[in-house]
Amino acid sequence: MYELDCSLVFPGCERVIRADTRAGVIRRAIAQANALGIERISPMMMDTMRERMIDRPETTVRAA
Give pLDDT tens digits for 4-38.
Answer: 999 999 988 999 999 999 999 999 999 999 999 99
Q: Is 64 a member of any domain?
A: no
Q: Is 63 a member of any domain?
A: no
Structure confidence by residue, pLDDT tens digits, 39-59 = 999 999 999 999 999 998 876
Which residue segment(s) compose the domain that 38 sits in? 2-55
pLDDT at residue 12, as a whole number: 87
Q: Is 31 a member of any domain?
A: yes
The total domain count for the chain is: 1
Q: DSSP of 1-64, one letter per residue?
A: -EEEEGGGTSTT---EEEESSHHHHHHHHHHHHHHTT-----HHHHHHHHHH-EEPPP-PPPP-
Within 10 A of 29 (CB to CB), how many other CB atoms are there? 25
pTM of this structure: 0.83
Q: Is 61 a member of any domain?
A: no
Q: Is 62 a member of any domain?
A: no
pLDDT at residue 33, as a whole number: 95
pLDDT value at 64 more than 60: no
